[in-house]
Amino acid sequence: MSSWTFFVLAFSSLAAAASGAWTFEDAQAVVAAKGGKVDAYKFSPTKPIKEAISLGPKEILKVSLTIKEDSKVGRPHQAFLLVQEPESKVEAFFPLTVKELSGKGKVDLSHKDLPAFLLTAPSLSLSLVLGSFGESAASVVTIGNVEPSLDPTAKALLEKQKQKDIGGETVIYKAKDEIRHIFRADPQSPPKIITLVFLLSVLAGLGGLFVVWFPILGGNLSHLPRALKAAPVSHPLFFASLLSLEAIFFMYYTQWNLFQTLAGMAAIGPVALFSGSRALREVRVRREKGER
């Protein structure tokens, strides 16, 4: 906030020659209490109030000034009093009521305006913010410091209210600490030995299948010579086309894309169909003759 203020002031002083800047004069801050004691503090854009203003529970801080755009009075689009707690940068703002023709603006500040968090702070900085459309530079001017003073019962109540407001934890609306989220690790493939064991057991199952097919059940291999004599081209061609289809699927798994696979299937498919129908026709002839 202070560097921003410095920058704006520097820019506005530089730019003052080229375009206007919003500023104010005849400014004073008055602390008025019902009992009658009145403290008045005068300030200007270059001279903030040095001593801290103490604001009691029944006192009202009245800020009044005349706003000028360069040298003529004006009413800016935004004119407000910024109350900020310096350490946490929590702030509240209160718009000034500004008369259009005379440029006189004023705002009242009392305990009932401030939220519990600011009221319980030890010291609050006051700034005046002026800005509008057009080329005139905006300005943020530090006016001084205000210290709200609370009596103990009020303070206790406010502390309780503060806890209720912010949920029992000193959480205020500022940037939170960075969360370091540790993402779950990517799933990993299991160790190769397990995969190998299961692969070997599946292959053993396949071996068992061949054992059952050929020695135990007698896999009809004796039919082969007769079948080949009857249909010498169809049977091997059919078997070879089926094997090549499976080989195409293996290529699809390892290298090819879908279109190459479909092209391969379109080439081999009719061969399989044609040779298959011939081969099976031959089988049917043998079955009907009872030789199977």
C-beta of residue 74 within 8 angstroms of C-beta of residue 87: no
Of the candidates 4, 246, 255, 259, which one interacts with another protein according to CB under 8 A? Answer: 246
State the Cα–Cα distance between residues 66 and 23, nearest whole angstrom: 9
| Contact letters for another protein, residues 273-292 (x by CB under 8 A) | ---xx--xx-xx--xxxx-x
230 binds another protein per the rule CB under 8 A: no
Task: Please work out the total of residues on this chain that contact another protein, with binding judged by CB under 8 A.
Answer: 41
271 binds another protein per the rule CB under 8 A: no
212 binds another protein per the rule CB under 8 A: yes
Cβ neighbours of residue 13 under 8 Å, at least 6 residues apart? 21
CA dihedral 70, 22, 9, 80 (to 10 degrees): 160
265 binds another protein per the rule CB under 8 A: yes
**Residue 84 has which token pair?**
């900020």
**Residue 266 has which token pair?**
């379109």
Of the candidates 35, 152, 168, 205, which one interacts with another protein according to CB under 8 A? Answer: 205
State the Cα–Cα distance between residues 92 and 114, nearest whole angstrom: 8
Tell me phi and psi for residue 83, to 5 degrees. Answer: -110, 120
224 binds another protein per the rule CB under 8 A: no
State the Cα–Cα distance between residues 209 and 223, nearest whole angstrom: 20
270 binds another protein per the rule CB under 8 A: no
Of the candidates 93, 163, 198, 236, which one interacts with another protein according to CB under 8 A? Answer: 198
Q: Where on the chain is the footprint of another protein (CB under 8 A)?
A: 187-190, 194-195, 198, 201-202, 205-206, 208-209, 212-213, 217-220, 242, 245-246, 249-250, 252-253, 258, 261, 265, 272, 276-277, 280-281, 283-284, 287-290, 292
